[in-house]
Amino acid sequence: MTKKKKIRFGVVGAGKIGNYHARTLAAMPEVELVGISDINVLRAQVLAWRYDSMAYKNYADILPQTDAIVISTPTEYHAEIALAAMKKGIHCLVEKPITNSVEDAKKLLEAAEKAKVMLQVGHVERFNPAVVEALKHIKNPKFVTIERLGPYDPRVSGIGVTLDLMIHDLDIVLTMINSPLETFDAVGASLLSEHDDISNVRLKFKSGCTVDITASRVTMEIARRMRVYQEENYISVDYASSLIKIYEKKNSPIKSLKDIAVSFPKIVKKQPIQEELYHFIDCIENSKSPVPSGEKGLMALKLALDITDNLKKYELKEPKNAFPKNSIFQSIADAGKATRVMVEEGLKNSGIDKT
């Protein structure tokens, strides 16, 4: 029996996400991790030593040795690297967002089609077991709320929270709701970077479904939650703990909590990034279209860019007796003020009196 040939992988970008990919690929028996590239060659070398691979400074040097690459560089380099790889017939898993412009994303789609290679976008939340299971139970949502909150990470200060974090949820929502988007309203604030650090958007679909998404990278609490309200049930999803609760009416009208049944769908714990890479390999070996395809990545990118362009950013005036400029206390105070402004705006748009 002929032994199955391993797929030769390279990782371009040796930062935090590149490390996750390199570590996961190195442990997969179906893969040979042939090299890790980064303009900071010392950083690449550290990962190469750790995962028994080779380090390269120039990504072009890694391409002739690979069948597939993971691109986990800053977004502005995605298009250049992916186009160079696809011209050589190399399959590409490009971290999200796919590119920093719709024009470049379209170029990647055209290049993948021309070269007959796989183009998958790194919307890893698609492979979160809680999300995979939840999508099985979501039929006709009427109202959806999503929160993605966490502390500031200077590593991604060159991009706004909408493009960095909210784009995960935009991708899921566009997949979950089979209806055209009609309108949206967005508010946000820049607190610790030159880009949006808090962002809230309300999406309204032709089906009548309304989706409210909040993304923040200036929140001490870490939370990734989704709540879906349907005629037949209410579904609560905790991405971080991979927990789903489904609340359904046992009797109507509801007279007490005893008339509500609560179920907990069984979820098999899996590593999303490993599932993502196995899916990419399966698509390569069996000529399947990736679930987070280039087309899906383009859709999420376009909406994220539209939201960013239309974001109503609130000017945060310095209070009397303010904390020293650039202090952590001032940042926390500003974050609280921005959150309050955004909540009040949301209440006003909903027709609710905050008093």
Across the chain, which has 355 residues, the per-10-residue mean pLDDT values are: 84 97 97 98 98 98 98 97 98 97 98 98 96 95 97 87 96 95 94 92 97 95 95 94 92 82 93 98 97 97 96 52 47 48 48 40
Q: Could you state, in order of their start, the residue ranges of all structural domains in the chain?
A: 7-122+273-289, 126-270+303-311
**What's the pLDDT score for residue 342?**
52
CATH topology of 7-122+273-289 equal to that of 126-270+303-311? no
Topology of the domain covering 126-270+303-311: Dihydrodipicolinate Reductase; domain 2 (3.30.360)
Whether the bond between 253 and the residue before it is cis, its omega within 30 degrees of 0, is yes
Q: Is the peptide bond before 324 cis (omega within 30 degrees of 0)?
A: no
Which is nearest to 185 in space by CA: 167, 220, 211, 206? 211
Q: What pLDDT is recorded for position 58? A: 97
CATH number of 7-122+273-289: 3.40.50.720
Those residues with Cβ within 8 angstroms of residue 171's Cβ, 6 or more apart along the chain or in another chain: 96, 123, 125, 126, 292, 296, 297, 299, 300
